[in-house]
Amino acid sequence: MGKLIHFVHQSLDGFIEGPQGEFDWPLMGPELSAYSHELTGGDKVFLYGRVVWDMMAGFWPEAEKYSTHEHDLAFAPIWRAAPKVVVSRTLEKADWNTRVIGENVVEELTALKESGVTLLLFGGSNLAAHLTEHGVIDEYRVFVHPVLLGGGKPVFQPQQQRIGLELVESRVLDEQVVMLRHRRTAG
């Protein structure tokens, strides 16, 4: 059985983007970069909602044109080669080894997990909320960055029910980013 991991960066005050949609604040030091490369390596499938997909597809295919950061240069070929899934009601097709799921999202992603696939959901609070509500996310890896954005899009949307989690791991990366890894508890 595979699993679905929600991999998300957030500010200390709980936002994934600032008030104007800005995402220029995550601090990608060598330890966090190495951790993310380890997490994204292997046979994982990258999972996105439409908004995050648009951001990723606008950068990673030609990241070398936009950045000289060591992390970006190392991750770009990984991103291009990785199989990807985008959940969208409006997108019909996508490039870069990408499958689009527009309907029966919970069933489709559950079937992928049951086939042994490990999915990495990158950011995105709307898709994460939907998948959390339906019990599809198995693990949350939240990277808390030392910044207060003062508003924006919250990492977690309100849920209809309480969801029990177990802290599996916590680490400080690059002496500034705290990684919190939680697993969904049974029941």
Please tell me the total count of domains within the chain: 1
Residues (pLDDT < 50) of the chain are none
Any domain includes 168: no
Burial class (CB within 10 angstroms; exposed 0-12, middle 13-18, buried 19+) of 14: middle
Any domain includes 92: yes
Any domain includes 3: yes
Mean per-residue pLDDT of the chain: 94
At residue 33, the pLDDT reads: 94
Structural domain of 142: 1-7+43-152
Instruction: Tell me which residue of 15, 11, 9, 20 sits closest to 157, measured CA to CA.
Output: 15
Q: Hey, which residues does 130 pair with through a beta bridge?
A: none
> How far is Cα 161 from Cα 38, in angstroms, rounded to an integer?
33
CATH of the domain at 90: 3.40.430.10
Any domain includes 129: yes
Any domain includes 103: yes
Any domain includes 158: no
Query: Residue 103 has what DSSP assignment?
Result: S
8 A C-beta contact, residue 88 and residue 49? yes
- Strand 15-17 versus strand 153-154 pairing type: antiparallel
Cβ–Cβ contacts within 10 Å for residue 111, how many? 11
Q: Residue 60, CB half-sphere, CA atoms under 13 Å: how many?
A: 21
At residue 1, the pLDDT reads: 87
At residue 166, the pLDDT reads: 97
DSSP string, 115-150: TTPEEEEES-HHHHHHHHHTT---EEEEEEES---S
